[in-house]
Amino acid sequence: MRLRPISIIQYQNVSPRPELNRLWLSLEAFKKQLEYLSKNNFQVLGLGDAINYMERKKEVGKLRPISITFDNGFMDFYEYVLPVLAEYSCPATVLVSPPKVGHHVTMAGEKVYYLTWSLLKDLSKAGITIGAYEDQTWNINDISESTLLDHIRRYRETLESKLGIKVLYFGVKEGVPNPRIRDFLISEGYRAFLTQCPTNTKADLYAIGRIQVDDDDFNIFLTKISRTYLFFKDRKSWKYIRDYSLDKAAHKLSESYDKIRKRKSH
């Protein structure tokens, strides 16, 4: 069965202090993005529904499906992001590394705290999907296979034991699992593996290329959620698209397509 494409967004963090990390998005930019999605025929799906859509088990009518994920599990999510999600009735997924829960990291001279087990329980009860996250390295190909296999099992067991939930998703910053790791993910009961585009592979639940949003420029966001961007994001031609800045033209092409489609529908 050929999987249907869907835009799955990857945020490293959304914060009122985006200057602490170049991959963080400002809270104001995030609010503007959700407002746009709410007013422009998008339907934000939880990750489970997003995968159901990919597998053709769920329909969204004429709406554009999209799903939102957050890596790392910083405290900013609970304090600032959750109220915005609630305002727009948007589901989301948070991927966390169990060894980091309840601890902190120093960035630009400031302490940045991770979510606690208690707050993760609250998030789960509020409908936020919790998944496991590998943050030992930027790309999983830079970590030993034995370590990765251990984390795949141990992180799931820890999250399920601490939170009393079923953990179905494993996420990384970058990298696609080899066949052995893929088989292990399946045997451990994971429903999907989340990475970052481009994956340079055909659509696969164990190599879902997410679209990272880390720039306050609203036009870049519009480009990244466009149909044109979605069409090209995991293809081998992606390298040339980025090299020649063709991705910046994607939004304009998508806008033109949308205008033509709307005219035909009237």
**Cis peptide leading into residue 91 (ω within 30°):** no
What's the pTM value of the predicted model, to 2 decimals?
A: 0.90
The whole-angstrom separation of Cα 94 and Cα 80 is 14
The whole-angstrom separation of Cα 30 and Cα 46 is 17
Tokens read off for 57: 């088990």
The per-residue pLDDT for 254 is 54
Q: Is 195 helix (H, G, I), strand (E, B) or coil?
A: strand
Give me the DSSP letters along 124-165: HHTT-EEEEEEEEEEEGGGS-HHHHHHHHHHHHHHHHHHH-S
The per-residue pLDDT for 1 is 73
- Furthest C-alpha separation in the chain: 58
Ranges of residues in the chain whose predicted pLDDT is under 70: 236-266
Q: pLDDT, tens digit, for every residue of 159-198? A: 999 999 999 999 999 999 999 999 999 999 999 999 999 8
